[in-house]
A and B are shown apart, each in its own frame.
Chain A
Amino acid sequence: MKALANSRYVGLGVLAVFFVVAWFVVGGLDASAVSIAVLALYYGAAGTSFNFLYGSIGVFSLAQPVFLAVGGYTGVYLYLTYGISPWLSIPISCAVAGLIALPIGLASLRRPGAVMTALVTLIIAEAAGPVVSAIKPLGGSIGLYLTLRSSDDLGAMQFGSGVAFARIFLIVNVILIAGLMWFNRSRAGYWARALRDSPEAADACGVPVFRVKLWIFVASAMIAAPVGLIYAQYNLLVNTDLFLGTTTLFEVIVVALVGGVARSWGTLVGALAIVEISQNVTSATSSRPGYGPLTFACIFLVIALLMPRGLSGTWAAWWERRRRSPDQAGGIAAVGAPQHAAERMATQTPVPDMTAHSQRSE
């Protein structure tokens, strides 16, 4: 237990150091590097909402971009129509996203298995684009545009340079990662992982399985909405292509999966790595169309084949192997995607066999 408590403070310390360093590094970057940083931090924050959902209860939802779009549309629409500051729209967008997530969760969460949920939520994500385009006040397929202010306007969340947005996203990332670290060790977090690893057993223990799943689904939507809102402010526009285009739809999820959901920082690392690589490839191919998305896809394919638990999952498995005695090392490497609960449980309880029955051996 003592080692565990220490590791929590080590995690928070690393996060704090990262925050301070990144805060000042972002200030010294040139304009193009700042735009890359904003993109990476946006993907990191958006992907973390997926990390929360998939990592804690194993729900593989491709509908997450829908809630980003909900946030973006809420902020821009309220500002253009009623002049409400985007900062005040943040809680409103959370509420709207939660309301929209409820029926989506009801429709998609009852199906057993990650694959069915993934397919149903993919349909919902694909349907969202045409639905939004059909709603006239939301600007149809053109979307809604903000007019650029001549000077920085904190109330309207408009800033001349991207540095401010990079810092806002940095704060969001740090809050989300710290929140996720807290959640993973909270009672609710253990409940969530118990029902993910064995819904039947959790049900028998009195965990209201479907309700917990639904609430976490709604909560992850509410986390995603402000991220989308800020991203729309950064782009000065909101339309279906920004969040629900054919490639943008998947990129958030890909970033989270490349980073892995085994650790709360996985998504951010994945986002930084994948955006950096794809930017390099894009500039190396002199911005010919298609190479950016192809790089995303190829990195994802390599990760899916070689490290199915993502970067942080591989790191967690390596860490676990190093920590354990050699004769128990075999079992943990072969586990399925979001298995860190089993590991954590093994860390918590002194019984090493806890993990043995629930995992396939290599």
Chain B
Amino acid sequence: MFFGQLVIAGLLTGSVYSMIGVGFTLVLGVGKIANFAHGSFVGVGLYFALFMWQKAGLNPYEALVPGLLAFILIGWAVAELFEWRGRKIGEIGELLVGLALLLTIGGLLEVLYTDNPRSFEAPSLGGVSVFGATVPWTEIIAAIFTLALAAATYFFVRLSRWGRAMRAVAENATAAGLYGVRAPITQRAAVTASIAIAGVSGMFIAPFTVMTPDAGTSYLISAFAVVIIGGIGRTMGAVAAGLAIGVVEALTGGYLSSVWTTLAPLLVILGFLLVRPEAGVAK
């Protein structure tokens, strides 16, 4: 049942990619901002969970409420930065701010927690046995969270007033403004939501993830891969793409050498970009 184990492992890894991709697709499709620091906030979430566990004795699930509040505040501040630079300098201004935040957050984490990989195992919830392999509950909870998050985002953007406002702003901010949508606030809300999602995702995956300060770049890349393959602004596409990448990664890692674990997803994306150069062009 080696194959089954690999598929399960791949789906669990993939759900992490989907989780990160959902936030990125929201900010790219609705906020119209390619937040280069998106993955960094996942990294901040990871280290925030570590901090709460070491200093306050709270496990990541107990730390969710303060974490969510903190990330909403951070997210709003970052959204203000993007808005301020974007209004004056345009796309390049946002790109520069995102890139600078990516590097600054990575540098700060390295100074605070050094280069050494960290991990902590809490809470220990045990696991269930699938195909002869033990799957920890923490990973299952993360996968469930991904699905709930994707469904919530999907219906929120589709059906709610705020979601409709976001889509209107994404389509044409000026026209939406003329119809009474408060475009600047809506855009900030999209950025804030995506950063809060990224941070909380980091906290959810903290119990089973080895954290390094440069996690920001690799999470940014997985998020972008998910968005490219799943389609910009498509929540369900992001979920499917994330799961697919996870399974490809697990299968190549299992049947070929471990080099392929990092290489295979990147090659899939590169191939995708070469074959479909128009992928990733915003509608």
Contact = CB atoms under 8 A, between A and B. Distances in A.
A291 B97 CA distance: 20
Interface stretch (A64-72, A145-153, A298-306): A298-306
Contacts of A106: 274, 277
A232 interface: no
A235 interface: no
B108 A127 contact: no
Contact of A297 (B104, B266, B269): B104
Interface stretch (B50-58, B82-90, B236-244): B82-90
Interface stretch (B61-69, B109-117, B166-174, B197-205): B109-117
Interface string A238-258: 000000001100100110010
Main secondary structure of the interface of A (DSSP, over half): helix
A304 B111 contact: no
A133 B110 contact: no
Interface stretch (B123-131, B136-144, B153-161, B214-222): B214-222
A289 B114 contact: yes
A360 B93 CA distance: 13
B262 A130 contact: yes
Contact of B107 (A134, A297, A308, A360): A297
A28 interface: no
Given A290-B115, A360-B88, A304 B273 contact: no
Contacts of A118: 34, 36, 95, 99
A304 B100 contact: yes
A296 interface: yes
B95 A293 contact: no
B71 interface: no
A113 B91 contact: yes
Nearest to B272: A107
A4 interface: no
B266 A130 contact: yes
A293 B90 CA distance: 27
8 contacts: A114-B91, A123-B221, A123-B266, A127-B269, A247-B214, A290-B107, A300-B100, A362-B88
Given A118-B99, A297-B106, A304-B100, 19 more contacts: A107-B270, A107-B274, A110-B278, A111-B277, A113-B91, A113-B282, A118-B95, A123-B225, A131-B266, A253-B99, A289-B111, A293-B103, A293-B110, A294-B107, A294-B108, A305-B85, A308-B89, A336-B92, A337-B92
Interface of A: 60, 103, 106-108, 110-116, 118-120, 122-124, 126-127, 130-131, 133-134, 246-247, 250, 253-254, 257, 288-291, 293-298, 300-301, 303-305, 308, 334, 336-338, 360, 362
Query: What are the 7 closest A-B residue pairs judged by CB atoms, nearest first?
Result: A294-B107, A290-B110, A297-B103, A127-B266, A304-B96, A301-B100, A115-B34
